[in-house]
Amino acid sequence: MSTSKELPLGSLKRMLRLFFALLLVLAVVIFMLENEQSVIISVFGWSSSELPLSVCIVAALLIGMTIGPMLGYIVWRRHK
């Protein structure tokens, strides 16, 4: 017989997800604060205004996270 109250497994998983989500947010905030150098992006003759390096890197990450699954879906549909 255990006298201590145990958390249900679902509640524990939810708390762990929240903990890791908060760690991820903290890591992104620290990354953005550490990379405040201004850069100009030039692509095919178009140039951006000066933006912090962290904004450019996060934007590239988000674009890659969007395009990657879309291309994977297209390849999967062709081989189906």
What is the pLDDT, as a whole number, of residue 19? Answer: 95
42: β partners: 47
* Single-letter amino acid, residue 36: E
CB atoms within 10 A of CB 53: 15
Mean pLDDT per 10-residue section of the chain, whose length is 80 residues? 65 90 91 88 90 88 93 90
Domain boundaries, the chain: 11-79
Which residue carries 């062709």 as its tokens? 78
Q: Sort strands 51-52 and 38-39 into parallel, antiparallel or unpaired.
A: antiparallel
pTM of the model: 0.59
What is the pLDDT, as a whole number, of residue 57? Answer: 87
Which residue carries 């109250």 as its tokens? 5
